[in-house]
Amino acid sequence: MHTEGRKIIAALRINEERYLGLLINLEAGIVVHAPDTSIIMHNAKASELLGLSNEQMMGKKAIDPAWKFVDVENNTLSHEDYPVNRVLTSKKSIKSQVLGIHSPIFKDVIWVTVNGFPICNSTGDCSEVVISFVDISARKLAEIEAKSHKKILEEMIEVRTNELIELNKAKYYDNDFLKKVRICVLENINVIGFDIDTLAAKLFMSRSTLQRKIKRESGLKPAQFIRQIRLEKAHYYIQSKTHRTLAETAYAVGFTHAGYFSKLYKEYCADKVGSHNYLELPSVSR
């Protein structure tokens, strides 16, 4: 053999050793598939992440029952959505597909992010598919834990908010002044046009003084405070089926328009239990 030929062979051997060394020491799993999806090459990291020995890996196809992948919602992945099949079908690269691997060795799911690309021959057909995947289990578990903590925190905030709402309502009626205002409104609950001026006159107070005291003691504007009392009374009427129609209930608590009353009452119920379907309203007519 000529000297030049020996140099070429030596250079090829060095490059091959360098390539194999790189492949072996990569932190990413590398799998090379044939067009029928069987494995023709892989590195040690791929065996580790997939939970299969080198002997088990070689020749294995994507339809092999040993493969079990799940998506980010933990649903079993269909064969069509396996990375190698996606590349073969589209003849395009895929990037950052997140999936979980059910390993025969480890009980927990190993989460990986997957990239893949086809190697096509001169006729445009895929001769090989290269798939790489990197272990992101720690990151994924941290995301799941953060999501769980967020849900718990949201539930705690909701419970505490409802407690404060009820506490604030109780404060209204523990206050002697607000009790007096409430009694006066209830005594005139069916009076159309009963407003802040009428209320001030009945309590022998100026309008401005009454407004200021209601705002300071309840945190609500006087009109809002009066409307809250009317809606609470309407709620009692509707629960006890006191009236036959929505219009009758509206008039009984001082509203002149049944449609407007219905809108306010639904908002009241939504604030009370967080649902617009809290109570079925009676119809306008029977």
User: For 114-170, what is each residue's pLDDT tens digit?
Assistant: 999 998 888 888 888 988 888 888 777 777 777 777 777 777 777 766 665 555 554
Domain segments of the chain as ranges: 3-135, 175-273
Q: What does the pLDDT read at residue 206?
A: 92
Just give the CATH number of 175-273: 1.10.10.60
Residue 247 has pLDDT above 80, yes or no: yes
Q: What does the pLDDT read at residue 38?
A: 86
User: With bands split at pLDDT 50, 70 and 90, how would you rate the model's confidence at 259?
Assistant: confident
Mean pLDDT for the stretch of residues 261-270: 87
Mean pLDDT of the chain: 77
From residue 168, give the alpha-carbon distance in Å to each of 137, 218, 265. Answer: 46, 8, 20
Three-state DSSP state, 277: coil
Mean pLDDT for the stretch of residues 265-279: 64
> For residues 23 and 191, which has the higher predicted lDDT (pLDDT)?
191
State the Cα–Cα distance between residues 161 and 251, nearest whole angstrom.
Answer: 32
Q: Which residues contact 227 (CB under 8 A, 6 or more apart)?
A: 264
Q: At what angle do helices 176-187 and 207-218 cross, to 10 degrees?
A: 120
Residue 237 has pLDDT above 50, yes or no: yes
User: For 25-59, what is each residue's pLDDT tens digit?
Assistant: 567 888 888 888 888 888 878 877 777 777 777 76
What tokens were used for 274? Answer: 């967080």
User: With bands split at pLDDT 50, 70 and 90, how would you rate the model's confidence at 278?
Assistant: very low
Mean pLDDT for the stretch of residues 198-226: 89
User: With bands split at pLDDT 50, 70 and 90, how would you rate the model's confidence at 275?
Assistant: very low
CATH fold of 3-135: Beta-Lactamase (3.30.450)
Q: How far is CA 19 from the centre of its chain?
A: 44
Weakest-pLDDT range from 98-112, 122-136, 202-216: 98-112
> For residues 257 and 68, which has the higher predicted lDDT (pLDDT)?
257
Q: At what angle do helices 222-239 and 258-273 cross, to 10 degrees?
A: 90
131 burial class (0-12, 13-18, 19+ CB within 10 angstroms)?
buried
Alpha-carbon Rg for the chain, nearest whole angstrom, is: 36
Q: How far is CA 224 from the centre of its chain?
A: 34
Q: What does the pLDDT read at residue 109?
A: 81
